[in-house]
Chains A and B, each alone.
Chain A
Amino acid sequence: MSAFEFTVNSTPVVVDVPGMRRLLDVLREELGLTGTKEGCGEGECGACTVLLDGAPVDSCLVPICQVDGSAVSTVEGQGLGEGRLDPLQTAFLEAGGAQCGICTPGMLMAARAYLDAGGGADDDAIREAIAGNLCRCTGYTKIIE
C-alpha cells in the first residue's frame, strides 16, 4: 500500500490503496462518489469518463498511481452547487439528452471537456467529441442538440 494524493472536484484527498487499483474503484468505493459508472471495464463504453487534469479519460483504465498529484473532475463536481444545474446539465435535461441516465455522467464529462477546449455548436465536432461514449437510449440526437 502507498498513499496517493490528488484532488477530486478541487478537494484534496489522500487514499492509501494498491497503486494498480482503478481510479474508478477509488472514486466509487474509497471516496463514495458513485456518480461515475462502470459499463464495460475495458475502455469501450465511456460510462466511467472523468476529467484527469482536464482531459477526458476512462477511469476504468487508469491505475491510481497515475493520478498522484493530479486533478480529477467527476459528475459530482458539475453544477452550480446545492443541486442547482449548470447550463450544460440544463441543456441535457431540457433537450432530452438523458434517458436511462447511466451514460449521462460520462457523457457530461466528455461534453465538459469539449466545451472547455473551446468547442462550439458544430454537429460533426460534437459527434467526434462524444464518439467514445456509448449511449443505447437516445440515438445521440438529443445529446448533440
Chain B
Amino acid sequence: MPDLTARTDPAGAVVIEPGVISPGRAAGAAPLRREGPAKLTGAARYTDDLVFPGAWFGATIRSTDAHARLVGIDLDPAFDWSSLVVVTAADIPGDNVVSSIKADQPILVPLGGEIQHHAEPLALLAAPDRATLRAARHAVRIRTEPLPPVFDPLVSDHLFAAYELVSGDPDAAFAAADLILEGEYRVGHQEQLYIENNAMIAVPSADGGVTVHGSLQCPYYVHTALKRGLGIDDRQARVVQAETGGGFGGKEEFPSVIALHAALLAGKAGRTVRMIYDRHEDLTATTKRHPAIVRHRTGVMRDGRLIAQDIEVVMDGGAYCTLTPVVLSRGAIHAGGPYRCPNVRIRARAARTNTPPNGAFRGFGAPQVQFATETHLNRIAEALAISPLDIRRRNVYQLGDTTPTGQVLRGSVAGEEVLERAVEAAEFERLRTRNAASRAAGDGSGTIPGSPLRTGRERTASGIGLALAWHGAGFTGSGEVKLASVASLELTADGRISILTASTEMGQGTRTILPQLVAEALGVADEAVEIALQDTAFVPDSGPTVASRTAMVVGGLLIKAAQRLRAQVEAATDGAFATTHRDYARSHGALRIDQRFEPYPGVGFDDDTYRGDAYPAFGWAACVATVDVDLDTGEVHVRDVVAADDIGRVIHPVLAEGQVEGGTLQAIGYATVEEIKLRDGRYLNDRLATYIIPTSLDAPRIHSILVEAPFEAVPHGAKGVGELPMDVGAPAVVAAIADATGVWIKDLPASPERIIAAMTGVAAVAPLPPGASEPASPR
C-alpha cells in the first residue's frame, strides 16, 4: 500500500502529490500517452486531415431569424446549379428528427415549418470546390414570416423538464432559523471552444448506407441518429471517430447534426462530402453551456449550521430539448452543494427560448448551480462573521449523511479531506487574515510586487477565496442501468490482446488508461494490450464518452472482462496468462469476452419519485484561488490556484493532473472572461477575436492535489476526474474577488464592468436574463 511518497490520513484516503506515481499500481512509471508521438510529429489525422480524392465540400444555409415560419427557399435562376447538390427537408429519407431525448429538433426546417432559432439549418449545399460553394451560398434566398420570439426563460411557458426534490420540512425549519439569507445568481452561456472545430466527412456506400468519419465523443449517438434520419439499418450506418481535437461535451450530441447533414449531401451527390465548420460557424451554431438563474433562500443557525434550503433553478434550454432534461436533473441534484441539511426544497425547470440550443459541457449543470451555492454560502459566512472554511467544516457531508434524494452516503466520502488539503496547501486562513488586515488599513493590500496588472501597489488588492463541490460519478439515476453498456476484450487467434469499446480519445487519455487497466488485470505489459479504433462496424456500444464515466464504468467492465479472460486461459493452460495466452490462442483460436454493465450492488434510483441513489458515488473537489484586482479598472488576475480533487483512484497521475489543470482554467475563464452577448437571439461575439478564452498569460499557477477515496464497487476504485474541477473554480475566484474588494459578484463572468459597478454601487451593467435580448437596437 502507501509507500514513502504518499501519506495516509486518518480517514484512509491517500493523498498523492503531483508527479508521484500512485501507490498500489504496477511498478514503474505510468505509460506515456499512446497517441502522443503521432500528435507531436503532425502524423495524427484529425477529420480535416483525412484525404478523400474527389470529395465535395458541404455548407449549411441557416436562418437569420430567431423565430419565424419558413415560407420559401429560392435558388437564383441566374446561377448555374448544374454542378451542385441542394438538400432540403423534402430530401430526408427517414424521420426529419435529430435523434435525442425528445424528437423535437428537425434535421432541416421543412417548408411551412417553424424556425426556432437564429442559425437554424434550413438547407444544405455541396459543390466540387469551395469557390463554387461560396458563390452558391449567396444565390440562395430564404423567405420567412416573422413570429414573436421568446428570449427570457423566466417567462417562457414551454418547459423541457421540471423536477422537485423535497426532504424534511423546509417551511417549519425557516421559522426556527437564526438567520435567513436570500440571493439570486446568474450565469450565462459558455462555449466549449475545443480548438478543433466540429467536422464530419460522409462517404456513401453501395448498399444505400453511409460511413461518416468525424470529430466526436459518442459514436453510437451518431449511429442512432443516422439510422433514424436516413431510414437505414445498423449495418448501413457506420461511424468512425477520427483523431478528435477536444470535446468537453461540445461533441457529445452536436455531431449527430453535422453527421446527418454530411450524410444527406453525400447520399444525394453520390460521392464523399466534407462538412468542416470554420470557427465562426462553430461558435454561431453549436451548443453552449446552459445559462441559469438560481435563487437561494437559506436558513442557518448562529453557529453556521444549515437547517433549511429553498432553491429554485431555471435553466435556458435554447430552442430544442437536446440533453436539457439530464443537464437539469444533474443541476437539481447538485443544487444544495456538498452539505448536510435536513430540510431542503429544490425546484428546477428548464424552459425553451428562441436561441440556439444549449447542450453538454463539462460539468453538465453542476457548475451553474454550485457557483450559486458556494457564493451564497460564502455570503452566509460573511453575514455570520465566521470563516468560509469553518462554515464548510461544520456542514460538509460525512459518511452516513443523507442527501436531498434520500441517498445515504455509504462510502467514498471525501469532502472534508479535499477541503483540508486545499486550505492547508494554500495557507488559506493565514492569507485571508492578512488580506483582511490590508483591507482594513486602506485601499489596496499592497502585497503584490510584480503583479501582471501593472498597477501601483496601493491600487491593487489581493484576495483569496474558497469553494467546495461534489460531483456525481457517471450517469444520473438509472442512466447506467438503461445504457447497459458492453465493453469487450479479445484474445485474437494470433495471440494479440485487443480492447473493443466505443469510448473515445479526445485528449483525456482513454487510449492510454484503458490498456493500463487491462494490462494490470492480465498481468502483462501495457504495450501488450492493443485498443481498437472507435468504429461502430467493429466495437460494441460501451456508452457515450461523457459524464466522466469512462475510467469508472468502462474501465470497470474491462477489468472484469480481463479477469474472466485470464481465468479461462489459466484454467485451460494451467499457467500464468502472461506466458501462456499465445499458446492458448494457437490451440483454441480466438476468445472474446463481452462484459455487460450490471447495477452496482445496493444502488437504486426511482425515476418517478426522484428518490434513491442519484449516483453510485460522488467525487469531491476543493479549490482555493488567489487573485489580484485592479481597484481602478476592475481587472482581475487569477494568480494561484490550489485544487484538491478526490477522484477515487488515480490511474495515471500525469493525465489526471492534466484534467484538473485544464478544467480549472476553463472554470477560471467562466468566472472572469467568457461571456456570450446576445441581441435578438443571436450571439454577437461569434468569433475567436471576440469570444475570449484564457491564454498562458491569464492562466494561474495551478497546484493540483489528487486525493484517493476509492469507490468500492469497481475493482480499481476510480470515480472519474474530468468534470470535478469545473465545479469549483468560478465560485473560488468570485470569493477571492470579494475578499479583495468587499463586493460580491452574483452574475458571471466577473467582468471589470461588473466589478466596478458593484464597487461604486452604480448599476453600470444592467443584469440581463440569460438568453435575453439586449435593449432593442434602433433599426
Contacts and interface: CB of A to CB of B under 8 A. Distances in A.
Q: Do A and B come from one complex?
A: yes
Interface of A: 28, 32-42, 44-45, 47, 74-76, 78-79, 83, 85, 89, 92-96, 98-105, 108, 123, 126-128, 130-144
A22 B278 CA distance: 15
A109 to B, nearest CB: 10
B696 A99 contact: no
Top 10 nearest A-B pairs (CB, nearest first) are A35-B42, A102-B245, A100-B507, A101-B39, A139-B661, A99-B507, A139-B665, A34-B49, A75-B42, A44-B688
10 contacts: A41-B278, A42-B687, A76-B42, A78-B41, A93-B37, A101-B35, A127-B699, A138-B665, A140-B699, A142-B661
B490 interface: no
Interface string B31-44: 01101111111111
A100 B508 CA distance: 7
A83 B41 CA distance: 7
Nearest to B283: A40
B654 A142 contact: yes
Contacts of A28: 49
Nearest to B509: A99
Chain A interface mostly: loop
B230 interface: no
B134 interface: no
Contacts of B699: 127, 139-141
A8 B33 CA distance: 29
Interface in B649-682: 654-655, 657-658, 661-666
A93 B246 CA distance: 17
Contacts of A39: 195-197, 279, 688
Contacts of B35: 101
Given A100-B194, A130-B696, A139-B699, A42 B279 contact: yes
Given A41-B278, A98-B33, A142-B661, 12 more contacts: A35-B42, A42-B689, A75-B41, A83-B37, A85-B40, A89-B41, A102-B245, A104-B40, A131-B697, A138-B661, A139-B663, A142-B658
Nearest to A142: B658
B695 interface: yes
A46 to B, nearest CB: 9
B506 interface: yes
A37 B658 contact: no
B610 interface: no
A98 B702 contact: no
B394 interface: no
Interface of B: 32-33, 35-46, 48-49, 51, 192-197, 243-248, 278-279, 506-509, 654-655, 657-658, 661-666, 687-689, 693, 695-697, 699, 701-702
Contacts of B43: 35, 83
A40 B279 contact: yes
B42 A36 contact: yes
Nearest to A74: B42
Contact of B696 (A35, A44, A98, A140): A140
A139 B44 contact: no
A136 B246 contact: yes
B696 A42 contact: no
B33 A100 contact: no
Contacts of A33: 42
Contacts of B37: 83, 85, 89, 93
Contact of B195 (A35, A136, A140): A136
B59 to A, nearest CB: 15
Contacts of A89: 37, 40-41
Nearest to A29: B51
A100 B242 CA distance: 12
Contacts of B248: 136
A74 B43 CA distance: 12
A131 B655 CA distance: 23
A136 B657 contact: no
Contact of B39 (A47, A104, A139): A104
B281 to A, nearest CB: 11
B194 A45 contact: no
A100 B279 contact: no
Most buried by A among B39, B666, B701, B702: B39
B42 A134 contact: no
Nearest to A108: B40
A33 B693 CA distance: 28
Contacts of A141: 657, 661, 699, 701-702
Contacts of B701: 123, 141
Given A100-B194, A131-B696, A140 B246 contact: no
B40 A98 contact: yes
Contact of A37 (B51, B192, B245, B663): B245
Contacts of B687: 40, 42, 44
A137 to B, nearest CB: 5
A117 B668 CA distance: 32
A44 B283 CA distance: 14
A2 B36 CA distance: 39
A140 B665 contact: yes
A93 B654 CA distance: 10
Nearest to B701: A141
B470 to A, nearest CB: 22
B32 A93 contact: yes
A105 B39 CA distance: 8
B661 A105 contact: no
Given A89-B40, A131-B697, A101 B243 contact: yes
A105 B246 CA distance: 15
Contacts of A100: 194-196, 244-247, 506-507
B723 to A, nearest CB: 14
B562 to A, nearest CB: 26
A137 B662 contact: yes
Given A35-B42, A42-B279, A44-B688, A143 B696 contact: yes
A87 B49 CA distance: 26
Contacts of B32: 93-94
A74 B41 CA distance: 9
A144 B41 CA distance: 19
A131 B243 CA distance: 25
Contacts of B45: 34
A38 B506 CA distance: 17
Given A40-B279, A89-B40, A130-B696, A95 B654 contact: yes
B507 A37 contact: no
Given A102-B195, A139-B662, A134 B689 contact: no
Contacts of B663: 139
A108 B46 CA distance: 18
Nearest to A43: B689
A75 B40 CA distance: 8
Most buried by A among B44, B46, B195, B509: B195
A92 B194 contact: no
B241 to A, nearest CB: 13
A76 B654 CA distance: 26
A53 B586 CA distance: 57
A142 B701 CA distance: 11
A39 to B, nearest CB: 5
Contact of B196 (A37, A108, A133): A37
A134 B41 contact: no
A125 to B, nearest CB: 11
Nearest to B193: A136
A99 to B, nearest CB: 4
A108 B49 CA distance: 19
Contacts of B278: 38, 40-41
B381 to A, nearest CB: 28
Nearest to B691: A44
